[in-house]
C-alpha cells in the first residue's frame, strides 16, 4: 500500500508541475484542452490534480502547447511517473 500511496503522490507532483507550465504559458485548462483536441477541459484538470496520468501519445503535443522542449518535457515527466525507469535511463552509471 505504501508503494501505491507514493505513486499517487508522484502523480500529484507531476500535475502541479504541468499546471505551473500551463499557467506560465498563459493558458487556461480550456485553452490547453482545445489545443490538444479534447472537447472538455475536465481531462486537463484530472491530470493536473494527479487523478490520472498524461497519456504517452499526448506528451509531445502537451509540451508544444505549453512551449516546452518535448524531449526535456518527456524526461521530466518520466521522473514523476516512472522514477525507477528514469533512474536507469538517465542516472545509472555504467560500471
Whichever domain contains 50, its CATH number is 1.10.260.40
| Number of domains forming the structure of the chain | 1
Torsion of CA 9, 11, 13, 18, to 10 degrees: -170
User: Whole-prediction pTM value?
Assistant: 0.89
Domain range enclosing 18: 2-91
Res 94 pLDDT > 60: no
Q: How confident is the model at residue 4 (pLDDT cuts 50, 70, 90)?
A: confident
Q: What is the pLDDT of residues 23-64, one digit of tens each?
A: 999 999 999 999 999 989 999 999 999 999 999 999 999 999
Amino acid at each position: 500500500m505504501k508503494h501505491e500511496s507514493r505513486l499517487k503522490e508522484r502523480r500529484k507532483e507531476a500535475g502541479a508541475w504541468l499546471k505551473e507550465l500551463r499557467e506560465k504559458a498563459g493558458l487556461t485548462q480550456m485553452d490547453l484542452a482545445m489545443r490538444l483536441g479534447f472537447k472538455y477541459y475536465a481531462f486537463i484538470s484530472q491530470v493536473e490534480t494527479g487523478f490520472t496520468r498524461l497519456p504517452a501519445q499526448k506528451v509531445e503535443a502537451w509540451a508544444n502547447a505549453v512551449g516546452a522542449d518535448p524531449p526535456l518535457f518527456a524526461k521530466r515527466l518520466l521522473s514523476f511517473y516512472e522514477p525507477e525507469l528514469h533512474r536507469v535511463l538517465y542516472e545509472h552509471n555504467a560500471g
